[in-house]
Each structure stands twice: as C-alpha cells, then as structure tokens.
Structure 1
Amino acid sequence: MKPQTHIQKLITQLSESPIEDYNAVLKDFDFSLIDFTDFESWSSKHYTRNCIYRDSNFELLLLCWNPNQATAIHGHDGEDCWVYLLEGEIEEVYYAYDDSSVLREVNSQKYEANELSFMNDRLGFHKLKNVCKGKSLSLHLYAKPIDNCVCFDERSQAFNNRELSYDTHKQLLLKD
C-alpha cells in the first residue's frame, strides 16, 4: 500500500468514529506505516502547522518542531485536542489560575515517540515544547477544527485572541 493509503485509512476511521473513540483510534493505529515526509515543512524561526485533513468534524495537523521550539500558553476554543508524538520528545506544561487569579504552572509531562496526550479547556491551558536535541514530529487531532484560540502574552501577562493558520495545507480528500 502507498503511504497515502494508510493515512487515508486513519482519516476514514476517524470519520466513521464518534469523538469518544478518537483516543482508541489513535492508540491502536500503526503510524509506522505512514511516511509523513510529503506533509512536513520546517522553519528555523517557529514550529510549523501543516494541515493534512479538515472537515466540519475534525482537523488533522502535522506539527514539525526544531529543538527548543514551543507554543505559547494557549486554550482550545472549547474543542478537544489529541497529540500523538511520532518522533522526538515533547514536554507539555499545564497551567491554571490560582486563588489570586494568577496563571501558574501546575504540572508538566514529557512524551516520547508513540505516546498520546489529550487536552481541552476544561483541563486548563497548556504549552508544548520540543525538548529533544533533534527534531520532533507530532500529529494533532482537533475535534472540531480550531480557527481561533486564546494565547498568553508573557509581556502583558494577559490572554489575547489569536487567529490560527497553517504553514502548509495539503488537504487529503476522504475517499468513499
């Protein structure tokens, strides 16, 4: 089978599954069968967001991280987010407001290849950072797609709304 056939299989499985099953779909899927090279783009300035698939129910993105690249602290506009680490090592840092309404780090977790993380706004805010000496690749599943989210500005110590965009958009079409 061609690599796109395998990623098409993942997209079909997600399309035919309720959101409650997304975690199991991602955990059970054999990602070693997919060559993500066609979806990769790299920047020395920031991690890249590369759209693989998007419809009204979910979007599937490949994020490419050079060493020490990180997201801002952010929310998910009320949507659920799964992060499957394909290669490298990512640290996820969790934040919440304390009793004095100050945003504080509450926990962190490191993920290695083939590990899965879940986040949504009910759990608080988070940021992700490549802590690997080399490159990292992560697959992000958002149910539903996220066009805007709040991001924390370190200078102003406040959240601002940010419109999200893709570095590349190589939309695969769902095949019948």
Structure 2
Amino acid sequence: MSPISTNNDAIYGQQTQAPTKFTFDELLQKISKLFESNEVNVDQLKQLMHSYESNPADWIKYVNLSKERYTRVLIDGGNGKYNLMLLCWPANTGSSIHDHPDSHCILKVLAGSVSEVRYCWPKDSYRDDHCDGGIGGNNNNDGEGMIITGENRLQTQNVAYINDSIGLHRVMNPDPTMPAFSLHLYSPPFDHCRIFDEKTGKYKKINVGFDPKEIEAVKYRVKHRIKNCDINVHKNHPHHHHDQNSMAKDVLVFEMQEQQHRRQQDNGKTRL
C-alpha cells in the first residue's frame, strides 16, 4: 500500500467545520501539494475533501454522463501517486462489488446522493493477513453469498473512506430520475481489481480504465440555483442571469436534452 498513514476510519462522518470557500481548481492544487511529500496523512486528505464546498460551476466541464451506466472521468493522474476522477452516475445505476488493490479510496459526493454498501471479504478470496473478513487464496467460496456489513447513504458534501483491510463495497445511485456525481481519489492508482458475485462470493479479475470524453450518450442541461441568482450551466457553455425574485438554497435541476450523441467504445475496458 502507498506511504499514507491512516487510522482506518471507514466513514469520516459529518463535517467538523463549515466548508471553505475555495474553487475546485484550488482543491486540485491543494491535493497535489499534499502529495509532494513521500508520506501523506489520509486524515488530511479527508479533511481537505470535506473542506471544499461543491459548486457545480467548478466541475461541470468534467461531466461525461452516459444514458445507461456510470462513467469514470480522469481529472488528475497525480504523477503516479494517485488518481483523482469524477464518477458520473445516471439514475438507477451502480458499480459491481469490488476491491481496491492495496489502495486507499476517498470519495466525496459533489451532487445528488449515493448509497454505499459494504461487504465482508468472502471466504478464501483474500490472502493478506491485514483483512479480518476471510483469509485465503483461491476463488472457491463454496457458493456462499456475500455478507453485508453496513450501508451508508451519502448526501452532497459527505465523504467516505475505504481500503481492503476494511472490506469490499459497491456504490449506487438509487434515485429513479436524478443523476449523481462523486469525486474519487485512489492512492496508489490501480488499473485492475476484482469484482465479486453477490450470490456466490466468487470473483474475477478485470482491467479498469477511464471513459473518453466522447462517450456521452445524452447531455443534460444543469440549472444551478444559488441564493438570489439563477446560474444556468451547460457543459462548456456556462452563462449567468440574475433574478432578484429568486431566493433559494443551492439546487441542481437536470433536464435531459433531446439531442443525443453516439456513445463511443470505452477503450475496451471492463466496467466495474
């Protein structure tokens, strides 16, 4: 595992202080600065992810929303120390149950909400002694199903953390109509993992990659209401107009456009 020190807290919990007013680009710079050291404290990373107050106008340019499955958009390769990516979750989509090979995973919900379900390691699927959920080394789980250890409903601004010593998980957007967006930091980066069958606990190894920007199957018009101002944000075409009669908290409204785009092949990588 990477030279990151951690106290293994599975969920960082509620914010201990109000979000800080800095931009998404400044967040990227602050993360990069932390990784200039050869030893990074994961609690500092969690706090930094918490401290950023999500503003869709900051990160809408990275959105790459497919019509039927979630997509992974690489934002920063982290000079080989980490990967930072935006995951875009259409309504009613989710990942497979998967591990994070010797990697730390921190995720922050930027918009919408996601459900994270955690599982024990199935019997005979994990050889390393630092995992309490089943020690072994082959893919014979005797047909036993996966055991759920907990479920967390993560709202906008919430941060979660997991690594292989904690267990396995899957992430889903259960909303029937609205997409969700989450920021994920993996250190060290990985290009393969194992996905697990929930009914049998059997796994297979897959390669994982990133979706090219051309993969969009459907575009959404994103309307961001903030205080006294309506901000209409469209990917690559942000514009603002003021409405003195608008008094509202931050709200995201996603309106599907009629124009659709052919979804290109995702570099031959298997989906989680």
TM-score range for the pair, normalised by the shorter chain length = 0.7 to 0.9
Contact 2:82 2:187 in 1 (8 A): yes
Matched, 1:15 2:35: yes
Aligned-residue sequence identity (percent) comes to 25
Q: Distance in 2 between matches of 1:44 and 1:88?
A: 17
Which residue of structure 2 lines up, in the alignment, with residue 42 of structure 1? Answer: 65
Question: What is aligned with 1:139?
Answer: 183
Aligned residues: 168
Q: Which has the higher contact order (CA 8 A, sep 6+)?
A: 1
Residue 149 of structure 1 is matched in structure 2 by 193
Residues 64-143 of structure 1: matches in 2 within 5 Å?
64-96=88-120, 97=122, 102-132=145-175, 133-143=177-187
Aligned partners of 1:33, 1:165: CA distance in 2, in Å?
A: 24
1:29 paired with 2:34, answer: no
Q: Determine the C-alpha separation between the residues in 1 that align with 2:25 and 2:58.
A: 10
Query: More helix per residue: 1 or 2?
Result: 1
TM-score of the aligned structures, taking structure 1 as reference length = 0.84
Q: For the aligned residues, what is the CA RMSD?
A: 2.6
CA offset at residue 28 of structure 1?
A: 1.9
1:125–1:4 CA distance, 2 compared to 1 (3 A) = closer
**Alignment partner, residue 60 of structure 1:** 84
Provide the C-alpha distance between the structure 1 equivalents of 2:24 and 2:172, rounded to a whole number of angstroms.
28
**Equivalent residues of 2:146, 2:198 under 8 A apart:** no
For structure 2, which runs of at least 5 residues remain unmatched after alignment?
1-22, 124-133, 135-141, 214-272
Gaps of 5+ in 1: 170-176
8 Å Cα contact 2:27-2:52 kept in structure 1 = no
SS across alignment from 1:123: coil
> Match of 2:114, as an amino acid?
I
